[in-house]
Structure formats: C-alpha cells, structure tokens
C-alpha cells in the first residue's frame, strides 16, 4: 500500500509488492482472521463491476471442474471493495467459502477484479483474471 497526497486519505493497493509477504490488508478485512489460515484465493471485488462477476464465474467453474479430479485448490473468499457512499450489502454467492469486505475507514484504490493466492496469510501470487491464479 502507498499513500498519494493528491488523493488524501486514499490507499493504493499494489499487489506486486506483496509477493512472499503477509497480506498487508489482513487487519483491514473483516474476515482477515479466517483467510490468514490455510490456502485461499481471495478475490477483491467491487460491487456492480461486470468484469468482477464474469471472472468470479470463471474461477468457480474452473474449481468445480477440478473438484471432480484430484486437486489442491484453495478455498475462495470474495472481499468487497466499497467506495465512499457504496451500499454495504452482501449478496449471497454460491460456491464462495467466505464473504467479507475491506473496512470502510479508508478509501481503497485498486484495479478490480484482483485475485490473491494466500497460504497461511502469505501472498504467493496474484492476477487480475481467474486463469492467472489457477495456473
């Protein structure tokens, strides 16, 4: 994360700086304790983002297809990135193991969708599309 004085109070999320380190957002995610244990694919999702919905569908289909074969697939969490004035509504999503949100005490600037592969809270990979985390 880095701050930019041009956008006071905003935090820019820079996943390329997280590789091999504990996800710096764990304390800012309401399900951070849950996704810090085990293997997870965490999708940062902006409600209303059509690309986010499409990529989530691709991820869940790929995982379902792999479940019928031997697989080492992670659990899936979707974390909503809410902007100022965004409605705080969690829509139930089938196939998702956990649902949360970034805490709204900050304004988050991130390119969505963003998929982050976590193992015990450490970032092992990231991508802006589902296929990138399923390699």
Summarize pLDDT for 34-60 with one digit per residue, the tens. 999 999 999 998 888 899 989 989 888
Q: Is residue 65 part of a domain?
A: yes
Is 33 inside any structural domain?
A: yes
* Count of the separate structural domains present in the chain: 1
**3 domain-assigned:** no
pTM of this prediction exceeds 0.85:
no
CATH of the domain at 39: 3.40.30
Spatial contact of 77 and 101, defined as CB atoms under 8 Å apart: no
84 vs 131 pLDDT, higher one: 131
The answer to the question of residue 2 being in a domain is no
CB 39 within 8 A of CB 75: yes
Within a domain: 91: yes
pLDDT level of residue 109 (50, 70, 90 thresholds): confident
Is 5 part of any domain?
no
Residues with Cβ < 8 Å from 34, sequence gap 6 or more? 77, 98, 100
Residue 23 pairs in a beta bridge with none
List Cβ neighbours of 73 (8 Å cut-off, separation of 6 or more).
41, 63, 66, 67
What is the domain range of residue 95? Answer: 10-130
CA distance 23 to 34: 13
């Amino acid at each position: 994360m880095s701050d930019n004085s041009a956008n006071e109070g905003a935090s820019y999320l820079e996943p390329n700086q997280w590789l091999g380190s504990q996800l710096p957002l764990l304390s800012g995610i309401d399900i951070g304790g849950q996704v810090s244990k085990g293997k997870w694919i965490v999708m940062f999702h902006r409600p209303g983002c059509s690309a986010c919905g499409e990529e989530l569908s691709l991820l869940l289909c790929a995982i379902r297809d792999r479940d019928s074969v031997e697989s080492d697939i992670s659990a899936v969490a979707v974390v909503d990135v809410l902007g100022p004035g965004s409605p705080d509504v969690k829509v139930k999503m089938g196939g998702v193991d956990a649902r949360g949100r970034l805490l709204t005490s900050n304004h988050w600037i991130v390119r969505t969708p963003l998929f982050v592969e976590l193992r015990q809270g450490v970032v092992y990979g990231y991508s802006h599309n589902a296929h990138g985390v399923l390699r």
